[in-house]
Amino acid sequence: MVLEEILTSLTMCFFYTLMPCLLIGGVVVLPAPQNLSVQSINMKHLLTWSPVIVPGEIIYYSVEYQGEYESLYMSHIWIPSSWCSPTKGLECDITDDITATVPYNLHVRATLGSQTSAWSTLQHPFNRNSTVLTPPGMDVTKDGFHLVIELEDLGPQFEFLVVYWRREPSAKEHVKMVRSGAVPVHLETMEPGAAYCVKAQTLVKTIGRHSTFSQAQCVKVQGEPLPLALALFAFVGFLLILVAVLLSIWKMGRLLRHSCCPVVVLPDTLKITSSPQKLISCRKEEVEVCATAVLSSEELLRPWI
């Protein structure tokens, strides 16, 4: 049985001279994948390796990892990668396996039928703090007079530092923290005719690192006549209020005079007799005085109304 396998393997070897074959202790060994490396960009980690080629055959690869805990306290334990146990491809997304900012050992082996290669181990353990952080993609727009930014969604670990300023000499920079991408965020209400610029960088708290800033993007608000119209509206409103106030003062004055003018100085006769005729005649005189007083105040306000 074993002999038969060795023989078929050897035949394959001699048949396809391209195939890298090894004969160790009388057993043909499937070569291990070479050239392992991890590409990590924006906290997405991809393990790649060079193919093991056996013409006419499909080679499968298995990936396992060992975090700091496993390598320190359980050195014999390797955990199969979530997505590549096994895989036909030459790469493995290990993002879901790397859950801590510690060194990870990774290894890969090839499988062909019942044959398996030796494990090939990544030369230097991978730590996710070495990920390459790129400046975030951003969309700077204006919504009426509102300066709005929408940042690329890079996942829940990402935050963004947004810096914006009005484009003018010695402009003051404003800073805003944005907690997640893919959501429009209002930055400022812009003044007409002015240009505003925005730049952003990504922050990843779990690894304590940030990207460089993106290129600044600027938007300009047209110098529209709207503020002039607003000022005009405000002025007209002010005039209307002034007129209303003056009118009400005048009305109040009139009312007050009507109610207060007849200051009834009780005639001596009343104190003694309380005869109604005398009281009426007295009041008639006073009301007349009152009416002339109101008339004069009306004349005073006439030019205003």
Ligand X SMILES: *[C@@H]1O[C@H](CO)[C@@H](O)[C@H](O)[C@H]1NC(C)=O
Interface residues with ligand X (CB under 6 A) are 34-35, 37, 48, 50, 127, 129-130
Residue (30 or 198) nearer to ligand X, CB: 30
Residue (206 or 275) nearer to ligand X, CB: 206
Q: Are 122 and 116 in contact (CB under 8 A)?
A: no
Residue (207 or 290) nearer to ligand X, CB: 207
Residue (132 or 229) nearer to ligand X, CB: 132
CB of 119 to ligand X, least distance (A): 18
**CA–CA distance, 284 with 276 (Å, rounded to integer):** 13
**CA–CA distance, 179 with 193 (Å, rounded to integer):** 30
CB of 103 to ligand X, least distance (A): 7
Identity (one letter) of the amino acid at 176? Answer: K
Burial of 120 (0-12, 13-18, 19+ CB in 10 A): buried
End-to-end CA distance of the chain: 119
CB of 117 to ligand X, least distance (A): 15
CB of 56 to ligand X, least distance (A): 21
CB of 166 to ligand X, least distance (A): 36
**DSSP bridge partners of 47:** 38, 92
Radius of gyration (Cα) for the chain, nearest Å?
A: 45
Residue (116 or 129) nearer to ligand X, CB: 129
